[in-house]
Amino acid sequence: MTSPTPRSPGRAGLQNVTLHDVAREAGVAVSTVSRALTQPDRISPATRARVQEVARRLGYRPNRIARAVVSGRTQMLAVLVPDITNPHHFGLIRGAEERARAADRTLVLGDTRGDPGLEADHLDRLGSVVDGIVLASSRLPDADLLELARRRPVVLHNRELPGLPGVVTDFDDGIRQTLAHLVALGHRRVAYLSGPRRSWSEGRRWAALTAGATQAGVTVQRLGPFAPTLDGGRAAADAGLASGATALVGYNDLLAIGVLRRLEECGVPVPGTVSVTGFDDIFGADFCHPPLTTVTAPTEEAGRALVDVLLDDRSPDPERIVLPVRLQVRQSTGPAPPTS
């Protein structure tokens, strides 16, 4: 069973059997074949059966590209995340996929590496191909986003922009809970290990932190920015130690885990000397050493909500959903050391 009759190669040599082939073989018009396959009620049972049989026998597969050129829809949705290797996005992706599948859409994923240039590039390529776009933690300027949204439905994750629908994690509350936890443990000097300055969530967390700090009467200083990665965390650990703070609030878990690793290497007891917290509750946060106290968010629900909002485009005005968070206390936080 080698390759069968090498069908007419066409210009691309790829297209297999088309509606025309089926039509010719079945002795009917192209339109009849099309209808027999997509609107069966429109064609008599006899013809329909014959056409379907021929289509099956020839191994006909509809060309979705050609279909899209007339319908204007590809039934594909794009999800762009800044870092696909960040476990934080897993839930989002899974949730989005679940809903996309339920709505009979194909999800395509893209990784922007947190680079606005790459993000724009991806959008340029995908923009005219997909029916809608989920942008997670976009780093693009407001103007670009608005312009994009004029061409395609767009939903933002963890970025707020008047006029565009979005789903955001309740950062403020997460930071508030973290701070309350630390204060209850007796911490009075807190250092924030900041992430990418251009990131919306970074600004949001810092704002919440300063607000909460003044209210609770503790001092908080901002260190960094650091790369939101394990390596970034290693650098952040040193800065955090030098700052004299007794508690380090990391921009996210990736960074916080990097901090923990560095501290362990340096023999600094956690939480004995310094407490560490993260944000996201990613894969690994519960089995690093010590397990990380962090803020957990319902990311799968976020993914579901994002796709729901995207597909539910007959929105009166842009929908805005805020997802609740919860502080997951583990062993990386403890009472502040007695000194100070």
Partner DNA sequence: TCCATTATGGCAAACGTTTGCCAAATCTGT
Partner DNA sequence: ACAGATTTGGCAAACGTTTGCCATAATGGA
Q: Kindly state whether residue 318 participates in binding its own copies, applying the rule CB under 8 A.
A: no
Q: Kindly state whether residue 9 participates in binding DNA, applying the rule CB under 7 A.
A: no
Give the alpha-carbon dihedral of 198, 203, 204, 205, to 10 degrees.
Answer: 110
Number of residues that bind its own copies (CB under 8 A): 56
Which among its own copies, DNA, none contacts residue 30 (Cβ within 5 to 8 A by kind)? DNA
- CA distances 74 to 59, 204, 214, 233, 299, Å, are 22, 36, 51, 41, 26
Q: Kindly state whether residue 24 participates in binding DNA, applying the rule CB under 7 A.
A: no
CA distance 117 to 215: 39
End-to-end CA distance of the chain: 80
- Binding its own copies by CB under 8 A: which of 20, 56, 57, 61? 61
Of the pair 284, 337, the CB lying nearest its own copies is at 284
- Binding its own copies by CB under 8 A: which of 261, 320, 326, 330? 261
Q: Kindly state whether residue 104 participates in binding DNA, applying the rule CB under 7 A.
A: no
Provide the token pair at 118: 């790459």
Burial class (CB in 10 A: 0-12, 13-18, 19+), 279: buried
Q: Kindly state whether residue 29 participates in binding DNA, applying the rule CB under 7 A.
A: yes
Q: Kindly state whether residue 302 participates in binding DNA, applying the rule CB under 7 A.
A: no
- Hunting for tokens 């009849």 — which residue is that? 32
Residue 133 C-beta: closest distance to DNA, Å: 19
Residue 104 C-beta: closest distance to DNA, Å: 14
Q: Kindly state whether residue 11 participates in binding DNA, applying the rule CB under 7 A.
A: yes
Angle at alpha carbon of residue 154, lines to 150 and 158, rounded to 5°: 130
DSSP 124-188: HHHTTT-SEEEEES--S-HHHHHHHHHHS-EEEES---TTS-EEEE-HHHHHHHHHHHHHHTT--
- Chain positions contacting its own copies, by CB under 8 A: 3, 10-16, 59, 61-66, 68-69, 71-76, 84-85, 87, 90, 93-94, 97, 106-111, 122, 124-129, 131, 147, 150-152, 257, 260-261, 283-284, 287-289
Interface residue list for DNA (CB under 7 A): 10-11, 15, 18-20, 27-32, 34-35, 37-38, 42-48, 60-63, 66-67, 69-72
